[in-house]
Amino acid sequence: MTTAPKYVEGHNLLRGKSVLVTAAAGAGIGFSAALRAAEEGCRALMISDIHPRRLDEAVANIKAQTGLQQVFGQLCDVSQEEQVQVLINAAEDKLAGVDVLINNAGLGGQTAVVDMSDEQWSKVMDITLTGTFRMTRAMLPFMQQRKAGVIINNASVLGWRAQKEQAHYAAAKAGVMAFTRCSALEAAEHGVRINAVSPSIALHEFLKKASSADVLEQLASKEAFGRAAEVWEIANVMMFLASDYSSYMTGEVVSVSSQRA
């Protein structure tokens, strides 16, 4: 097992850009992506989440760590169309236009197919897949009108790889991949890029609550480095996709993983 690499300092990859990140409160990939965006020099940032206290703490944390004062929080449940519309309109207003949208909201779980209820299946689908669709649908008209913009979706290697008790989550993430490819072709006609990252395993508090310790340890041990990814290692790839360095990339699903799909 190797140790995690040293944290990578910002290089102003997003200088002058505004960024909106969903499900960005707490300690997961979303918060790390928001923090990295500020460290990469974005001019303004909005994060959303469904937890008021955690959202306020995340906004204050990013301000304190980076010195960026144009950081805003907005409550949003991506399974509710009305709240999605409020979020997009608030971001367009507060950020003077959204340059980068990171669709991070998702919901997992660990349930065998024979034990899975319709409600469990539908909830994972509604937040993970349909929530990504709702956010993209609401954001695209603004970006297409400006003939510029980047959308990054958070998928998973489970969209390719089979794993027991993950049928609902894997199906939703495979849907995110397919949605990314198809929507990217439509958006490209208007100068907007849509890509996705596909992490294998990035360990954080939310994941620890959703999966057993034994399963997480087993998955991490199979990785080439013998460890799970740090959340910021996933966020770094998001920053590349958000930056002008990836200007010819669209409709791609980038595997942030040390295993083959």
233 is a domain residue? yes
118 is a domain residue? yes
Q: Is 108 exposed, middle or buried (0-12, 13-18, 19+ CB in 10 A)?
A: buried
Residue in the block written with tokens 């956010």 = 135
pLDDT for res 259: 61
What is the CB-side half-sphere exposure of residue 100 using CA atoms within 13 A?
35
Q: What is the mean pLDDT of the chain?
A: 93
Per residue in 47-72, pLDDT tens? 999 999 999 999 999 999 999 999 99
4 is a domain residue? no
Q: How many domains does the chain have?
A: 1
Where helices occur in 77-210 by DSSP H, the ranges are 81-94, 118-124, 131-146, 167-188, 205-210
8 is a domain residue? no
Kindly indicate the confidence band of residue 228, based on its pLDDT and cuts at 50, 70 and 90: confident
Per residue in 104-135, pLDDT tens? 999 999 999 999 999 999 999 999 999 999 99
7 is a domain residue? no
Per residue in 141-177, pLDDT tens? 999 999 999 999 999 999 998 989 999 999 999 999 9
pLDDT for res 210: 57
CATH number (domain holding residue 77) = 3.40.50.720
Q: What is the mean pLDDT of residues 229-257?
A: 96
Q: Residue 203 pLDDT > 80, yes or no?
A: no
pTM for the full predicted model? 0.94
What percent of the chain clears pLDDT 90, i.e. is strictly above it?
82
Kindly indicate the confidence band of residue 225, based on its pLDDT and cuts at 50, 70 and 90: confident
Among the listed residues 7, 169, 245, 248, the single catalytic one is: 169
Kindly indicate the confidence band of residue 258, based on its pLDDT and cuts at 50, 70 and 90: low
Q: Residue 41 pLDDT > 80, yes or no?
A: yes
State the helix-helix crossing angle for 52-66 and 29-39, rounded to 10 degrees: 30
Q: Is 99 exposed, middle or buried (0-12, 13-18, 19+ CB in 10 A)?
A: buried
Tokens of 27: 């300690």
pLDDT for res 104: 97
7 part of the active site? no
13 is a domain residue? no
Task: Give the structural domain span for 160.
Answer: 18-256
198 is a domain residue? yes
